[in-house]
Each structure stands twice: as structure tokens, then as C-alpha cells.
Amino acid sequence: MFKALILEQGDDGLAEAGIQEIGEDRLPEGEVTVAVEYSTVNYKDGLCLSPKGGGLVRSYPHVGGIDFAGTVEASDDPRYEPGDKVVLTGWRVGEVHWGGYAQKARVKADWLVPLPEGLSTRAAMAVGTAGFTAMLAVMALEDHGLSPDKGEVLVTGAAGGVGSVATAILARLGYEVAGVTGRPEQADYLKGLGATRIVPREELAETVKRPLESETWAGCVDAVGGAMLARVLGQMKYGASVAAVGLAGGAALPATVVPFLLRGVNLLGIDSVMQPYESRQRAWARIARDLPMDKLEAMIQPATLADLPRLGADILKGQVKGRVVVDVN
């Protein structure tokens, strides 16, 4: 028997979470059974934990947790054997497949990545989907020519999960980082992660009035989308790129095409869910190399399975700072 946070639908059709002891026979099909050590809370976890499942959860009872790290307990796949440390993000685990909010998970071997040397299971979940995606965003910007000598890089939603990790990685790589936040009280936290400038959210909240503003940013990791992304596009330097990661501020893009046509600005889409294995491995190796562990530690808010319903609601309101690490045991 093991402990799991199970989401069950009530008579009103709304889901509610409760901790239950269940048997391994309840686990879904998959080649590898993992003893989960840590999971975390991403924006998407907030959606999955919400009473209507955020449009992501397909059936109940359900176990959420879109990412986890732990130790292989049993494997029918030659790539993994008991004792191996592994991390999982994406592949709709925690949405349509049971996820990491339990002491055990059973998944396809293809979905796992061996934990890179130098990263603990706890650190891997301090990074989690949010941090993994931040790394993918930085890699995409580099692939499109970004380097520290090009100028300041903007990170939107900076005090959130994606934003915190992006800030720490960029600063470590030698970039000047400007962090946009709606929480001025987090300025010291962001400066501690390496941000050199804090941009108040209001400065970028207004919708586009002029399609081009002065050329300010050499790159941008955008976790917010919406009107803010539209504004940022008009402030990019000639030939610079924006990595579009999130929609915390909205899915609409009230922009013009002028920055693309007159400044050669690139809008790079970042998806972490279906990333191929090789790029996952590359991103995790880069995380182990480029993310300072003391900065990662400063982002961590520890939690247990019992805290998840509250934290799920908090992250949807933009009230979670940095990264939650859930000790499922």
C-alpha cells in the first residue's frame, strides 16, 4: 500500500482531493514503476487540482502531479533497472495519466530521463517542469544568436517558477537580467537570483499603442503572454528573439506584425510537454551545469501532499513565489 493524493468527482461533478492509502494494482499501465521522492507545483498543476480539472484532466479518480523525481523500483525496460534515479516532466502525466502526487508512479520508459550527475531528486523537483522549460527557453534564445554581449535580457513573470529559474540561469551565464514583476516586495528576492533591474508590471501592462518603441531588450523569456508579450515585441532590439513560454497574463496576443517586419524580431514557441528525448537530456545536463544550487535553494518552498489543494489555488492566483518542492513521503 502507498499514499496518494486522489482527486475524486462529487455528485455535483466537481473534483476534490484527499489523501488515500491504495494498492499497486490501482497504478496505470507502464513499463517502469518509480518510488516517487519529490514532486512540485506548476501552473498546470493548479489547473489539474481545480474543481473542474482546468479542462486538462480527462477522468476521475485521478492523481495529479505533472512531474516527479524518484528511484526506479521495477522495470520491464532494459534502459532502467531498480535503483536508478530518474526524473519525469510532461507527456501529459498528471493530466491524462496518473502523476507524481503519490509515493509510487507507473509510466512508460520513454517518458523518463536519467537524473544527471550532480542533481538530487529534490533539486530536480525544485527545477521541475517550470525550470526545465526556462532552460529550454534560454537554449532556444542562444540557438537564435543571443549572447551576453548583445545587451539586457527581459524575464516576465519573474518571481514565478519559470521566471525565477530563467533569471538565475541567465545571470549565471553572464547576462544582465531585467525581471518584470507585479510583486514589488519580491525585488530583493529577484536581485538575489541575479536580476540587475526590476521592471514594475504596470510599465508593460498597457496594450500596444505604438507598434515600435525604443529598442531595449536583446532577448526575452516570457511567462506571461497577452498584452505584455505584445508590448515586449515592440521593444526588442533588431533581430532579437522572444521565447514564448506561458500565458499567466492571458492567451490573446493583441500585437501587430510590425516588429517582425521592420526589426526582424523572432517569436520562438517553447513546448516542454512533447520535447524529444535528446533535447530533454541536453536541457537537464545544462541545468546541472548552469543553475547555481545556492540560488535554487533560495527559490524553494517545502510542502507535503496535504498542502497541495491550497498551493494549487495559490499558483492560479499568481501567489506562489519561486518553486514548491513536495516531499510525497
The smaller minimum CB distance to ligand NDP, of residues 206 and 271, is found at 271
What's the rounded Cα separation, in Å, for the pair 239 and 269? Answer: 16
In the complex, the smallest distance separating the C-beta of residue 72 from ligand NDP, rounded to whole angstroms, is 25
- 248 is an interface residue for ligand NDP by CB under 6 A: yes
Give Cβ neighbours of residue 271 (< 8 Å, ≥ 6 apart). Answer: none
Radius of gyration of the chain (CA): 20
Measured from the CB atom, the residue of 102 and 324 that comes closer to ligand NDP is 324
The 181-220 site mask, x for binding ligand NDP (CB under 6 A), equals: xxx-----------------x-------------------
Q: Which is nearer to ligand NDP, 72 or 245 (CB)?
A: 245
Binding positions for ligand NDP, 65-124, rule CB under 6 A: none
Classify strands 32-40 and 67-75 as parallel, antiparallel or unpaired: antiparallel
- Nearer to ligand NDP by Cβ, of 30 and 90: the residue is 90
Single out the residue of 68, 67, 62, 78 nearest to residue 110, CA to CA.
78
Per CB under 6 A, 245 contacts ligand NDP: yes
Among the listed residues 95, 36, 34, the one whose alpha carbon sits nearest the alpha carbon of residue 63:
95
- Give the CB-side neighbour count of residue 191, counting CA atoms within 13 A: 9
324 in contact with ligand NDP (CB under 6 A): no
Assign 26 to helix, strand or coil: helix
Beta carbon of residue 224, minimum distance to ligand NDP (angstroms, whole number): 4
What are the grid coordinates assigned to 114, written together? 536519467
Q: Cα–Cα distance between 278 and 113 in angstroms, integer?
A: 10
Closest approach, Cβ 52 to ligand NDP, in A, equals: 16
Binding ligand NDP (rule: CB under 6 A), the pick from 39, 133, 241, 266 is 133
Sign of CA dihedral 291, 296, 297, 302: negative
Q: How far is the CB of 123 from ligand NDP (least distance, A)?
A: 17
Neighbours of 235 (CB within 10 A): 20
* From candidates 198, 223, 233, 268, binder to ligand NDP by CB under 6 A: 223
The footprint of ligand NDP (CB under 6 A) covers: 42-44, 129-130, 133, 157-163, 181-183, 201, 223-224, 228, 245-249, 270-273, 315, 318, 320
